[in-house]
Amino acid sequence: DHLIWSVFSTLYLNLCCLGFLALAYSIKARDQKVAGDLEAARRLGSKAKCYNILAMMWALVPPLLLLALVVTGALHLSRLAKDSAAFFSTKFDDSDY
């Protein structure tokens, strides 16, 4: 029923309420298991697992993309700074004009 994972998704990874949906399906799955309907419990547990995975992806992918953008931006800015420093250190003669 993935109840523990759903609780953590609800508390820490709750973007677009996906963690809350996972928690609701986990509780429903546990109720169905107690009632003896194992097929419904498996189906609801599978939905809870999918929502937990989606919540985890929504929580992990945007910070990783932001980190990648910051790193590539810093590399690009350092390359620009190096090129501009080389430009400003060149000496021009009167014949260059």
Q: Give the pLDDT confidence of 30-75 residue by residue, as tens digits.
A: 999 999 999 999 999 999 999 999 998 888 898 899 999 999 998 8
pTM above 0.85, yes or no: no
Residue 88 pLDDT: 67
Which residues fall within 8 angstroms of residue 33, CB to CB, at 6 or more apart? 1, 41
pLDDT of residue 41: 95
Domain boundaries, the chain: 2-94
CA distance 30 to 20: 15
